Chain A
Amino acid sequence: MPQAAQASRPRIRLSSKQLAVYAAVIAAWIGYLVLTFLQRPNASANPYHFTDAQRIAIQLTIAVPYLFIWLAAFHGALQIKSYQTSLAEGTHRAAFRKLAAGLAWLAVGLLVTTFVSSIRNLPTAGSAYPALTVLLNHLYVLFPLVGFFCLAMGARGLARESGLRLTVGVFATAALTCLIVGGVQAYLIFSDAGRRTPSPLTGHATFYVPDVMLVTDYVIPTAISVAMAVFAAYGLQGFLRKSAAVIYEKSLPPLIGGLLMIMASTVILQLLLSLGQGRLLGLGLGAILAIVYAFLLIQGVGYVLVARGSGRLARLQATIAKYQADTP
């Protein structure tokens, strides 16, 4: 029996920086819980007349999955980052660096938007509500836009390394997806009477910004984000198919699947925002909860798949490091 085979199974050692990130995420989640409990919605914002206990119970069913989604999101970004640092400097490493950056933007976006949303819903927000709504809506667009752009650039680097080029078909797919998402979102936004002025049902407007900004600041960036996500998935898939090493066979597919699910959750979130609170409440409690849980499920599975794929890459690195250290 070789000496190496007798060694214990290598563990992914977390660096102090990584531990600090996980600790920060957990602390942020606790902060988010506190903010959630501080919320005291008035009658207009509580159309289903929940008691505080019922409200908190429902919010917990959302907040708890949030913790796992956040951890999964940060875990994925950190693992990819860790993997790329073990590679020699070059186009391959640069590509993975961009992938890690993209995932980090998405993960940070989750955290920031949730926090801003919670602060906005505090009773003390008062007159700041419209400004916070505008800020929040922009953040919902900004983070995915930057994140998917980085991912697309990283995937492009890998794809180019293997001589893969964007085909007309990919462009057509991305353009079609953009058009569909943009069209549906635009329709939902502009058919919402409460998009600029507060709705009688909720007391708030959905966006508070002029119509032209709805297109330039929300519809177009969301469509671009979607296109970037398509390019990222295509690039990674192409790399996997054409020239990736065996080691990527088990790590890239979950990563690609996860990215597509994150893209889907981003689109769903934007469509839900575009729908407006008034129409959303009109769907009924059951439908709302179903939509929210479905959204959480898609988003959660997406990030878990990404974490799974990147975790395999990190394990490769850890295993190799261990064997090199164990070499007599």
Chain B
Amino acid sequence: MPTTRKRELKPTVPTINPYGAKSDVQPTGIETFDRILRGGIPQGSTVLLAGAAGTGKTILALQWLFAGQKQYGDVGIYISATEYLTGSIRRAQKMSFYDPDVVGTTKLFFTDLNELLRLVTKGQRAPTRQDVFDLADQIFELALDMGAKRIVIDSITSIGHRLGDPQLVREFIFQLIAKLMTIGTNVVMTSEVNAPRFSMFDVEEFIADGIISVTHEPGRLYEPVRRLRIVKMRGTSYNANAVLFRITRDGLRFFPREKGKLTYQVSDERITTGIEGLDRMTSGGYFRGSSILLSGASGAGKTLFALQCLHGALTQGEKALFLSFEESRAHLMKEGAAFGWNLEKFERSGSFRIMSAYPEEFHTDEHLDAIISHIEEVKPSIVVFDSATALHSVFSEEELHDMLSNLLAFAKERKVTMLITGATTGFLAVNDRGTDVHLSTVADTIVLLRQIEIQSELKHAVTVMKMRGSDHERLLREFVFTPQGIRIITDFRGYENVLSSSGGARKVSQSTEDRLRALFVEVLGPLGAQIFEHEKAVGLDLARVKAMLTDLGDQGVISQRRKEEFTKKSEIIIKGA
């Protein structure tokens, strides 16, 4: 047990250069927290951990103490000022990181302010300036005797209330920092204030080397959203974003986001879309590492397009990950099996994984964290995100956009091809004129799927609306669902209004020229179009064309009957005009 003997203050300035001690950072021992801090807290720093009640300040402070002891053998002191010591220990015992073997020993010492203050004031009068010096000295002596590297004062607000005068608070903090700095001890002081304030007495935040703010706000469909933000941290760089965290039995779990840099390499390599017709439409498939938005209404076939692409990649020996926010694993397996795709086989071999979760189960940052973990474990070359619409029903556009752009940046750096499915309205919308809105701006390729009605029959249409860095077909093609999956067949030439929101396509009213061209093609095949264009350029002379057909008839290339049919039809068309 450490001694609590009072020592006299030395009226000299510290002989150790306080700033020299800050050259090294002290890792907190909490991996994600260290990432946010870019390594840790500079040695000899005093950090104000500010936040309202229930934001997890005490838990983080305790976690910091225990992690330091466990991982680096750092001796720690916890000074409770808000409640009696037993209450603090009882709270700590509920956490998984609590280690009874170190608590109350020379490794991790718990004490409360009442004990210290009683020693200073003898329990008989209000604290004076000298008492403040003595209190700081007590703590310093304690730290010195124990060789403490970490001290938590929980909370400085309570101490301030006990001291009563802001000037005394300032003196206390200043004295404590000045002393502890000399031995390189880091101090975390919790501050019980509501945002946007960081300190109750408006002095703590200016004296502290670092300010960490923790906040919480009610969630919509999920539990409260807690965020941590480093407001300042002298002597080091840090992630200044507000980082989402969740309070768990293991302590605070952070979900930091690091925006990727625009330094990723682009690949010319193509991967199959899994659909032969779509491979042709995209001039050979999607680019590896690109992002593809499959946009279409419910039932348009988005998931199946994605699943077929994924299956095509799997059969070529690639690895794949399916992120499902709408369907369960069993449902997807069944859907694949219906088309003869044995996805379970790939799952067993470790080349395929399905991650299924309801959007509201977690916040976007937690989803992102889980997705990144899965990507790092499976190392897929293709990831299907099905669907962004499901997440959009729970999260705001900003949150979802932020999540997806972070995910896409991460995927691009690792050359992971991302297929994102989305609905045709709202945030993911790609309007009829092809103008990109919201997410579609970050997608490299947009494949548009539509259900259209033609003469009371519902047909499915697909078109490649955009493909960065590649030529692609601009036709709108029909696709059908076969027992082997999606097959793209003919195009919708001759129809217009196919992409309209009303979904009703109508036949194009043909001009005389169109009808004549169609007749030429009907008779002469692909060469017919070329002949027609030639004739049009030199002045259409049906007599010349008829003579040519007569010649072909003479050579046995075309029958007499067909030649007469052509003559009759062409005359009707011209007379009609």
Contact = CB atoms under 8 A, between A and B. Distances in A.
Contact of A4 (B525, B548, B554): B548
Interface in B536-558: 538, 541, 543-544, 546-548, 550-552, 554-558
B524 A250 contact: no
Given A4-B547, A5-B550, A328-B538, A316 B559 contact: no
B544 A88 contact: no
Contact of B558 (A3, A10, A163, A247): A247
Interface stretch (A127-135, A185-193, A317-325): A317-325
B227 to A, nearest CB: 55
Contacts of B546: 2, 5
B525 A315 contact: no
Interface string B522-541: 11111111110011001001
Contact of A2 (B528, B541, B557): B541
Indicate the member of A9, A87, A88, A160 with the most B CB atoms within 10 Å: A160
B322 to A, nearest CB: 28
B531 A9 contact: no
Interface string B276-315: 0000100000000000000000000000000000000000
Interface in B495-544: 521-531, 534-535, 538, 541, 543-544
A319 B557 contact: yes
Contact of A5 (B482, B527, B538, B547): B547
Interface residues of B, number: 37
Nearest to A161: B490
Interface in A132-180: 160, 163, 165
B556 A245 contact: no
Nearest to A326: B544
B554 A9 contact: yes
Contact of A251 (B482, B534, B557): B557
Nearest to B528: A245
Contact of A88 (B523, B526, B565): B526
Given A250-B556, A328-B538, A2 B526 contact: no
Given A163-B490, A245-B521, A320 B527 contact: yes
Given A163-B489, A247-B557, A319-B548, A327 B523 contact: no
B94 interface: no
Contacts of A247: 523-525, 527-528, 552, 557-558
A316 B280 contact: no
B302 to A, nearest CB: 23
Contacts of B538: 327-328
Give the size range of A's interface with the partner: 20 to 34
Contact of A92 (B526, B543, B555, B557): B526
B129 interface: no
A25 interface: no
A246 B562 contact: yes
B524 A319 contact: no
A320 B548 contact: yes
A59 interface: no
Interface in A282-328: 312, 315-317, 319-320, 323-324, 327-328
Contacts of B565: 246
Contacts of A317: 527
A248 interface: yes
Nearest to B542: A2
Contacts of B550: 5
Contacts of B548: 4, 319-320, 323
A93 B530 CA distance: 14
A247 B530 CA distance: 14
A315 B529 CA distance: 17
A312 B556 contact: yes
Interface in B164-222: none
Interface in A77-108: 86-88, 90-93
A208 B84 CA distance: 98
B236 to A, nearest CB: 61
Interface in B440-480: none
A162 B566 CA distance: 22
Contacts of B541: 2
B527 A165 contact: no
Contacts of A9: 551, 554-555
B557 A250 contact: yes
A246 B528 CA distance: 10
A52 interface: no
B489 A248 contact: no
Contacts of A246: 522-525, 558, 562, 565-566
Nearest to A91: B280
A115 B531 CA distance: 44
A245 B525 contact: yes
A80 B118 CA distance: 106
B521 to A, nearest CB: 7
Contacts of A163: 489-490
A45 interface: no
A277 to B, nearest CB: 44
A244 interface: yes
A316 B527 contact: yes
B562 to A, nearest CB: 5
A249 interface: yes
A245 B522 contact: yes
A87 B528 CA distance: 10
A2 B527 contact: no
B106 to A, nearest CB: 79
Interface string A242-263: 0011111111000000000000
Nearest to B549: A319
Contacts of A87: 526-527
A319 B547 contact: no
Nearest to B552: A319
Nearest to B527: A320
Indicate the member of A87, A160, A323 with the most B CB atoms within 10 Å: A323
A307 B403 CA distance: 63
Nearest to A243: B490
A157 to B, nearest CB: 10
A278 B522 CA distance: 56
B392 to A, nearest CB: 36
B339 to A, nearest CB: 15
A324 B524 CA distance: 14
B552 A249 contact: no
A327 B558 CA distance: 21
Indicate the member of B521, B527, B528, B541 with the most A CB atoms within 10 Å: B527
Indicate the member of B535, B543, B548 with the most A CB atoms within 10 Å: B548
A2 B543 contact: yes
Given A319-B555, A328-B538, A249 B526 contact: no
A264 B5 CA distance: 110
A4 B523 contact: no
Contacts of B535: 327
A327 B531 CA distance: 11
B525 A244 contact: yes
Contacts of A244: 525
Contacts of B489: 160, 163
Contact of B544 (A93, A165, A316, A327): A327
Given A10-B551, A245-B524, 16 more contacts: A3-B544, A4-B544, A5-B550, A9-B551, A87-B526, A90-B526, A246-B566, A247-B557, A249-B562, A312-B557, A317-B527, A320-B527, A320-B530, A320-B548, A323-B544, A328-B538
A-B pairs with lowest CB-CB distance, top 3: A245-B525, A5-B547, A2-B543
Interface of A: 2-5, 9-10, 86-88, 90-93, 160, 163, 165, 244-251, 312, 315-317, 319-320, 323-324, 327-328
